[in-house]
Amino acid sequence: MRDNGRVLEMTREEFEELVAEALDRIPPELTRLMDNVAVFVEDEPDPSDPELLGLYEGTPLTDRGEWYAGVLPDRITIYRGPTLRMCESREDVVEETEITVVHEIAHHFGIDDERLHALGYG
């Protein structure tokens, strides 16, 4: 939370638009490769991890084999509350949202946290 104790305000619709814009900035050559994945916005993560900005749930493309058929889509969830609490300005939210979206999509492609941190997507 910021020093003044106030949390940046942004409606759910505004935040969803930022997530959509971040998705739109993913290069088309990558979005064409994304398969069976859905992106959601939620207000808060599980209380056991209240600072979680995003979550990827599913089977990364690199782990899919012949058995992969007829399964529910992978799920990427971007969390509004923690993002707004950590950011001081709308510009910070835009930047952090884009980083989080890229981070979670990278998990869909099988890139782990260690590699993402090395690439600057901590």
d(CA 73, CA 61): 12
Mean pLDDT of 7-19: 93
Tens digit of each residue's pLDDT (9 = 90 or more) over 39-75? 999 999 999 999 999 999 998 888 888 877 887 889 9
The torsion region of residue 88 among left (phi > 0), alpha (psi -120 to 50) and beta comes to alpha
What are the extents of the domains in the chain?
Answer: 12-59+72-119
CATH match of 12-59+72-119 with 3.40.50.10490: no
pTM of this structure: 0.86
Instruction: Using CB atoms within 10 Å of the CB of residue 95, give its burial: 0 to 12 exposed, 13 to 18 middle, 19+ buried.
Output: middle
